[in-house]
Structure 1
Amino acid sequence: MSQAAIITSIGDTLGNVLDSYAINTRFRIVHFLAQLAHESDGFCTTQEYASGAAYEGRRDLGNTQPGDGRRFKGRGLIQLTGRANYHTLGGKLGVDLEANPEMAAEPKMSLRIACEYWKSRKINPPADNDDLITVTKLVNGGLNGLDQRRDYLVKAKAALARLEATGVARDTSNADHPVLRRGSRGPEVADLQARLRAAGLPVGVDGDFGPATELAVMRFQSDKRLAADGIVGPATWAALPKGP
């Protein structure tokens, strides 16, 4: 399957799937995508290039039957390897991957496998801290390919910033919340200001995202241990008190 086909396939359901695993804040999304990009050779493959023969007889992977090495080779955007892991992940996803291992290479299934792995390794907290080292260790078990993972992270952050700047990126948990920043105006800004006041921050409710509102946002973000950049994206909206 081509890179374009893989990206198109996972793109159709990406937002909903990530949201279901709480991978729905700026840092969580960019770290997740950066790690997947490295693990999948830039989204060029959903299975390892090697045959899998090296895993033959690996009882630590549950490969106890002749041919298990090739049968249960690495598949997925974060590679699932070995009969035992196919059995376990399949059970979590409600599909029989052990009987149908090729399903793990299907892009949409690959995305779900990656999310289950991310969840099982509890990677959201270090992603929240923008901690590439810990995220990489949890994904890889070491720091293999760290430079490339860092490069992908930089690219992911830049791409998301461009989307936010154009208002394309929105809170996946509530499509009515646009990304706001200094210079934004309108009822969405008034809603933000009302929520900031509810959080105990003295800001006027005038629908104009000026310096005072930006400062209040940054104080709120700092208190919530979010990136204090003054930009109100998914993570900040999620942390704010609910509107009236």
Structure 2
Amino acid sequence: MEQDGREADPILIVMHIPKTAGSTMRTFILDQYEPGQVYRSYREYGYGKQDRFTVQTRCIIGHEPFGTHHLKLTKPYTYVTMLRDPVERVLSEFYYLKRWPRHDLYISAELEKRNWDLDYYLGSTDERFLNRTFNTQTRYAAGQRSPESPDLEQAKANLSRYFSVVGITDMFDDSLSMMKRQFGWSDAPYRKRNVAPDQPEMERPSEEQIARIAAMNELDIQLYEWGKANILSRLQERL
């Protein structure tokens, strides 16, 4: 991938798309830096409400779309992220909201009123819901905060130009290995974080619900397949 706006030892911006194994990746990345070198931008949890980078900042990580932070930097930078099968990502976030309501108190409260109806979750036109159910990965990569008309081509262009590594969740070890090679990171143990347990049979989505999620996330599916083809090509080049 073409790289732009970067030179040796740039600030690393980790675009953590929710429910793409970003929490697991974060634990590994944090071990590569001193505590004062990492800026966390998780506004829903009270981190990063004000963008106060310091001269010590070497890594920025959080639930923020592309462009949120690099426009405020005066130093070279590069990005990494992970993409996930869109159907799996949407379902994973739904069940995570049920297990961990503080992830989004507003959505969790609305869903609790309706006995955690997956059809309601998928059918809501509330922008807070759409930000989680409708082409979320494309929107993040395109740098869009609104779920309206996600721009797939802009997403691909940003990932190609500004990201050193675009990993794939179901190729996590290969993706992490590529990041270690790219940045000269040391080996460090990691454990999977925020992994949902298997769902009881009664809670598993129907084929109709799965098809509905796929239709709602057609752009994310295209982006995911594009990202997977890219990482497979890069791995092949290393053989």
- Shorter-chain TM-score category? under 0.3
TM-score (norm 2): 0.27
User: What's the TM-score once normalised by structure 1's chain length?
Assistant: 0.27
Q: When you count strand as a share of all residues, which structure comes out higher?
A: 2
Give the number of the structure whose alpha-carbon radius of gyration is greater: 1
